[in-house]
């Protein structure tokens, strides 16, 4: 069974590692190519876009993909929509692998927003020294003249490109991050407001703890929903279980490309 994993996340890499030892499975991980030096998973790897829905559906058919797993970043909404439409076109079962989102705790000063643009609108009322941890994409939302009085520390894996905030330092780093390191950034850089996307997971969560301890407000961009009707696995292990069930159905003659949407952690 050829399994195509739309990757780029830690969960996608762990899923590929788990499936690589199963002789019934051939795994190909697709990476968008936005990171200069990605950590490559085992199995086959392709880099670059597919050319939209039709291109992805054509690739799935041409390479005889039997299962498609969308393990992209929780904010890769366009890719997730394309995956849902392409899977329907190619009549291939699709699973979304999504780590659970973060949950506010006692002491958190969170401000939930729907977009980076909304986050930018809130900032002047919350602070002057901003720790921006939303990645290098979308910095244009913080480049408006109305934010020129603010100073930004932008953390990303690769260097950002213009347009960028007028007053900005760049911190090139890749998670996972340690709590003490996050505390030091807030202290040393005199940060008074944090901006993040609700990516979920433990790798970048220590910044939330550090902000809670320091009493710093956090602007949290809500993640987009998974396309309607797509089953969801919360962990790589749950995704492996889904694959195994599909393999068992195929072996018993029960798989016809229209498998049930039920699964561990499944939701609509």
Domains of the chain in start order, with CATH, are: 2-100+224-251 (3.40.50.720), 110-221 (3.40.50)
Q: Is residue 3 a contact partner of residue 15, using CB atoms and an 8 Å limit?
A: no
Look up tokens 């050319």; give the residue.
51
3-class secondary-structure state, position 159 = coil
pLDDT at 170: 97
Angle, alpha carbons 196-108-145 (nearest 5°): 40
Rounded alpha-carbon distances, angstroms, from residue 229 to 93, 133, 237: 11, 31, 21
pLDDT at 192: 98
Low-confidence ranges of the chain (pLDDT < 70): 34-37, 252-268
- Long-range contacts, 183-189 (Cβ 8 Å, 24+): 183/210, 183/213, 183/214, 185/131, 185/153, 185/210, 186/131, 186/210, 186/211, 186/214, 186/216, 187/214, 189/129, 189/131, 189/153
pLDDT at 137: 86
pLDDT at 257: 40
Averaged pLDDT score across all residues of the chain: 91
pLDDT at 37: 67
Q: For residues 76 and 53, what is the distance between their CA atoms, to the nearest angstrom?
A: 14
Q: What is the pTM of this model?
A: 0.85
Which two tokens mark 64?
A: 């005889």
């Amino acid at each position: 069974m050829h399994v195509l994993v739309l990757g780029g996340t830690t969960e996608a890499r762990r899923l590929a590692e788990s499936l690589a030892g199963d002789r019934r499975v051939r795994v190909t991980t697709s990476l968008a190519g936005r990171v200069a030096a990605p950590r490559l998973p085992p199995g086959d790897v392709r880099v670059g876009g597919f050319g939209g829905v039709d291109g992805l559906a054509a690739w799935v058919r041409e390479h005889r993909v039997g299962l498609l797993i969308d393990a992209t970043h929780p904010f890769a909404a366009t890719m997730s929509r394309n995956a849902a439409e392409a899977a329907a076109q190619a009549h291939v079962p699709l699973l979304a692998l999504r780590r659970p989102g973060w949950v506010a705790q006692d002491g958190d000063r969170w401000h939930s927003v729907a977009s980076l643009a909304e986050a930018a609108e809130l900032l002047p009322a919350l602070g002057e020294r901003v720790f921006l941890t939303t990645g290098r994409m979308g910095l244009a939302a913080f480049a408006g003249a109305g934010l020129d009085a603010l100073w930004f520390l932008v953390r990303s894996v690769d260097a950002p490109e213009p347009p960028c905030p007028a007053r900005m330092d760049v911190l090139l780093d890749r998670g996972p991050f340690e709590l003490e390191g996050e505390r030091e950034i807030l202290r040393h850089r005199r940060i008074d407001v944090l901006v993040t996307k609700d990516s979920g997971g433990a790798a970048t969560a220590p910044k939330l703890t550090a902000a809670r301890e320091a009493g710093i407000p956090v602007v949290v961009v809500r993640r987009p929903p998974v396309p309607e009707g797509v089953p969801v696995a919360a962990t790589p292990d749950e995704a492996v279980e889904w694959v195994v069930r599909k393999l068992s159905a195929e072996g018993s003659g029960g798989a016809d490309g229209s498998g049930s949407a039920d699964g561990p952690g499944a939701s609509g």
